[in-house]
Amino acid sequence: MYERDTVTPLILTYGVDIASAFLILAAGWMFAAWVRRLVRRTLDRTHHIDPTLKPMIANIIRYLILAFVLIAVLAKFGIQTTSILALVGAAGLAIGLALQGTLSNVAFGVMLLLLRPFGVGDAIDAEGVAGTVLEIGLFSTDLETADGVYMMVPNSHLFGRAVKNFSRLPCRKIDVTVAISHKDDVDAAINIAFSVLKADERLVTDKPSEVVVSRLRETAVELSIRGWTHREDLGDFTSDLQRAVKQQFEAEGILFPQREFRMIRDEKNAAENLSPLQ
């Protein structure tokens, strides 16, 4: 009878503590997620904060809330705060030694935010890893490739390599190569191509433009048409320029060279190689 009277209050006491600890943990987890969404929506309405920093700020706030929730849960079991901090410090040291590569991604993520080689929405190429930046996180950066594939790249991979940012500068250079026959007038072809280039309104006139002979081949003379355009017009301008130059060349009687194959038959040797009929 004595043992039953002793065990029952203990079960009730610890059962209540465990239930309240799980309740605090669940409520804290949901509260952290709600605060993260609230902070993200608030930052999205704020235009003076860079879009690259918004998801990281929201995630940092969420992790801080979860840390306090964890301390509150452990406190329900009678663990002192000083003991919790000592435990967290020791665990942090052990985890840091075990996850050096993972934590380096966090450090590199901070460096990417400080140095700003690229931001959200930029098109980049990091030695073969290419795509449009969707988000820069604590551990990795999310990209969307040109063919619509999602790619998650560790921050250490991006920070430790040469990164080409195709969206940073306002203007891009175009370099279109066309070929003409050796029989055609090179100077006339250069003047025609240069006039087509200058006639397009998308050409940036305060930067140098030129049409030069870039290479001599056995069957053709190659001309390089070079100019500058705004970044958003690069693809359309390049395609339209090639089509316009081809049409103007054909109108002026300048044809693109075509490779011809001729079979020369030596009738005398062919007759000697014929075997007589048996």
Q: For residue range 86-118, what is the model confidence (pLDDT) as tens digits?
A: 666 766 666 555 555 566 777 787 788 778 888
Average pLDDT over residues 166-182: 91
Domain with CATH 2.30.30.60 in the chain: 116-165
Higher pLDDT, 196 or 60: 196
CA distance 248 to 153: 46
Q: What is the pLDDT of residues 222-268, one digit of tens each?
A: 999 999 999 999 999 999 999 999 999 989 888 777 666 566 665 55
CA distance 193 to 211: 7
CA distance 48 to 260: 63
Q: Which fold has domain 171-251?
A: Alpha-Beta Plaits (3.30.70)
* Helical (H) or strand (E) element with 153: strand 150-154
Q: Which residues neighbour 32 within 8 Å (Cβ) at sequence distance 6 or greater?
A: 62, 65, 66, 69
Average pLDDT, the chain: 80
On the question of pLDDT at 278 being above 50, the answer is no
Q: So what's the pLDDT on residue 191?
A: 94
In 3D, which of 172, 176, 171 has the Cα closest to residue 244?
176
- 85 pLDDT band (50/70/90 cuts)? low
Find the range with the poorest average confidence among 72-81, 164-173, 177-186.
72-81
Q: Which fold has domain 2-98?
A: Helix Hairpins (1.10.287)
Q: Is the pTM of this model over 0.75?
A: no
Q: Which residues neighbour 192 within 8 Å (Cβ) at sequence distance 6 or greater?
A: 245, 248, 249, 252, 254
How many CB atoms neighbour CB 228 within 10 A?
Answer: 19
Average pLDDT over residues 198-219: 91
For the beta sheet containing 150-154, the strands, ordered from the edge strand earlier in sequence to the opposite edge, are 150-154, 140-144, 129-136, 123-126, 164-165
The answer to whether 190 touches 211, Cβ cutoff 8 Å, is yes
Q: What is the pLDDT of residues 67-76, one digit of tens each?
A: 888 877 777 7
Domain with CATH 1.10.287.1260 in the chain: 2-98
The answer to whether 58 touches 40, Cβ cutoff 8 Å, is yes
Domain with CATH 3.30.70.100 in the chain: 171-251
Q: Which fold has domain 116-165?
A: SH3 type barrels. (2.30.30)
DSSP state of 76: T
The answer to whether 180 touches 189, Cβ cutoff 8 Å, is yes
